[in-house]
C-alpha cells in the first residue's frame, strides 16, 4: 500500500452470498434482503525488492481455517492470492442483517520483516466473529411469543464502531500477529429497518449509489498525503515514532437505504485509480446487461437449497464487483491517464503520473425490499 510505514500477478477471487433469509427461529417480518458479491486482485511482486519470507496463519488455526474458507467460495478464476488486503461478509444473528468489512495492511512493515497481511486478516477475522453473534440493531423480540421465550433472546446490538474496537482488541491479543498496521472500513445493514451504519478509519472506504448517482462517498482519513490513519500493533521494542491511531477516531455514518441501492466497499487500490463517476458507469452497464439478458450459464453457481434460493441479483452484484476490479487493474498500468492518485498528488504540489499499482478489494451489496 504505502512505502512510508503505510502500506501480488493480478489475481482475483470471487464470492457469492445470497440475499438474507428469514430465520427459522424468528417469525418477525424483515422488509429488506441484501445480495452481496466480492472480488479482489493482488498486485504483482516488486522485482526491485527482496521477497519477504512469510509465515502465514496455519491452515488448522482458527484464522487460517476461516481465511481459506473465505477464499474458497464459488469463483470465476482459480488463483488464490489476495495480497495485503482482506475482507469479510457475515450474516448477523438470526439473519437480522449483514456485516461487511475491508482492511488494507500497511505495506511499509515489509522493510522491518513483518508480513502486513497478517494484521488485516486477523482484524477481519475478529470483526466477523463478533458480528456473527450480534444484532445490527436492537435484539428482535417477537411480541406474539410467550414471555419465557422473549426473555431468552440472546445476543446484543453491535455497531460497526464497536465491532472495529473489539476486532482491534482481538488483534492486539493475537499471538500470530507480532506487529503491523491496517486501515479498515466496516458497514452493517439491518434487514428489519433498512438502516446502514458504518465506521471507517484510514483510506479504505465505501460509497452508496442510488439511481446512478453517488449519494455518499466516504472521505479518507489521512495524516498527510499518502499516509492514512491506521490501527497499529507495535513489537515489544522500538518503533516509537510509528503512527498509532485509535478506533475511536473512526468516522461514523448512518442512513436509511432504499430498494435498488448499491453499497460498494473498497480498499484504496480502487479509490486511487478509479473515479466515482466511472464506478457508477460500470454499475449501470452491468445492471442493464442483467436486465436485458438471461443469467449466463458459465458464471460460478452459488449453493442452492430451499433455504438459500439463488437470485439473479446474486450474479449481478458479483459481475459488478468483477468488472470494477478488472477496470481498476487496467487503470493501474496506464501512465498517460489521469488517476485520482495523480490528481491528489498535484493538489499537494507533487508530481506523479498515471495509476498506482496496489492490491484492490471490492465488496458490492444490492438492497432489495421484499
Only one residue has cell 501512465, namely 335
Residues 6+ apart with CB under 8 A from 53: none
User: What is the structure's pLDDT at 169?
Assistant: 97
Distance CA 291, CA 285 (A): 10
Only one residue has cell 470494477, namely 324
Only one residue has cell 422488509, namely 31
- Give pTM, 2 decimals: 0.87
**Domain spans, the chain:** 11-139+155-369
pLDDT 10s digits, 47-64: 566 667 778 999 999 999
Only one residue has cell 418477525, namely 28
The fold of 11-139+155-369 is Phosphatase 2c; domain 1 (3.60.40)
Grid coordinates representing 179 are 506487529
Grid coordinates representing 339 are 488517476
pLDDT 10s digits, 277-293: 999 999 999 999 988 76
Other CB atoms within 10 Å distance of the CB of residue 330: 14
Only one residue has cell 458464471, namely 299
Bridging pattern class, strands 262-266 and 205-210: antiparallel
User: What is the structure's pLDDT at 243?
Assistant: 78
Long-range contacts of residues 241-249, Cβ cutoff 8 Å, at least 24 apart? 242/5, 242/181, 243/5, 243/181, 245/201, 245/202, 247/161, 247/164, 247/165, 247/168, 247/199, 247/201, 248/165, 249/201, 249/221
> For every one of its 370 residues, what pLDDT tens digit does the chain have, with 9 covering 90 and above?
444 443 333 333 333 333 333 333 455 678 999 999 999 999 987 756 666 777 899 999 999 999 999 988 665 555 658 999 999 999 999 999 999 999 999 988 887 889 999 999 999 999 999 999 999 998 876 556 565 554 555 678 999 999 999 999 999 999 999 999 999 999 999 999 999 999 999 999 999 999 999 999 999 999 999 999 999 999 877 666 577 899 999 999 999 999 999 999 999 999 999 999 999 999 999 999 988 766 555 555 554 433 445 588 999 999 999 999 999 999 999 999 999 999 999 999 999 999 999 999 999 999 999 8
Distance CA 300, CA 315 (A): 8
Only one residue has cell 428482535, namely 140
Amino acid at each position: 500500500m504505502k512505502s512510508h510505514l503505510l502500506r501480488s500477478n493480478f489475481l482475483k477471487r470471487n464470492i457469492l452470498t445470497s440475499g438474507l433469509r428469514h430465520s427459522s427461529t424468528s417469525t418477525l417480518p424483515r422488509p429488506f434482503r441484501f445480495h452481496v458479491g466480492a472480488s479482489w486482485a493482488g498486485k504483482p511482486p516488486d522485482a526491485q525488492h527482496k521477497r519477504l519470507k512469510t509465515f502465514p496463519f496455519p491452515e488448522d488455526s482458527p484464522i487460517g481455517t476461516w481465511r481459506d474458507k473465505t477464499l474458497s467460495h464459488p469463483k470465476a478464476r482459480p488463483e488464490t492470492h489476495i495480497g495485503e488486503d482482506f475482507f469479510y461478509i457475515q450474516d448477523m444473528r438470526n439473519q437480522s442483517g449483514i456485516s461487511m468489512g475491508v482492511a488494507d495492511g500497511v505495506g511499509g512493515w515489509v522493510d522491518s520483516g513483518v508480513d502486513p497481511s497478517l494484521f488485516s486478516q486477523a482484524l477481519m477475522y475478529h470483526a466477523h466473529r463478533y458480528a456473527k453473534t450480534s444484532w445490527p440493531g436492537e435484539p428482535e423480540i417477537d411480541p406474539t411469543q410467550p414471555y419465557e421465550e422473549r426473555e431468552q433472546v440472546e445476543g446484543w446490538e453491535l455497531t460497526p464502531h464497536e465491532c472495529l474496537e473489539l476486532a482491534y482488541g482481538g488483534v492486539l491479543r493475537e499471538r500470530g500477529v507480532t506487529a503491523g498496521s491496517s486501515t479498515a472500513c466496516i458497514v452493517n445493514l439491518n434487514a428489519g429497518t433498512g438502516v446502514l451504519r458504518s465506521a471507517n478509519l484510514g483510506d479504505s472506504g465505501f460509497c452508496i449509489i442510488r439511481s446512478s448517482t453517488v449519494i455518499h462517498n466516504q472521505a479518507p482519513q489521512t495524516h498527510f498525503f499518502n499516509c492514512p490513519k491506521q490501527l497499529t500493533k507495535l513489537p515489544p521494542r522500538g518503533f516509537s515514532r510509528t503512527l498509532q491511531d485509535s478506533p475511536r477516531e473512526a468516522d461514523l455514518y448512518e442512513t436509511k437505504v432504499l430498494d435498488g441501492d448499491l453499497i460498494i466497499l473498497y480498499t484504496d487500490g480502487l479509490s486511487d485509480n478509479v473515479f466515482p463517476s466511472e464506478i457508477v458507469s460500470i454499475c449501470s452497464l452491468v445492471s442493464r446487461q442483467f436486465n436485458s439478458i438471461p443469467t449466463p450459464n458459465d458464471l460460478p453457481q452459488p449453493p442452492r437449497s430451499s433455504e438459500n434460493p439463488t437470485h439473479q441479483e446474486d450474479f449481478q452484484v458479483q459481475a459488478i464487483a468483477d468488472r470494477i476490479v478488472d477496470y481498476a487493474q487496467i487503470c493501474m498500468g496506464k501512465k498517460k491517464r489521469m488517476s485520482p492518485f495523480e490528481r491528489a498528488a498535484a493538489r499537494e504540489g507533487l508530481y506523479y503520473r498515471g495509476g498506482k499499482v496496489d492490491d484492490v478489494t471490492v465488496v458490492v451489496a444490492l438492497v432489495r425490499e421484499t
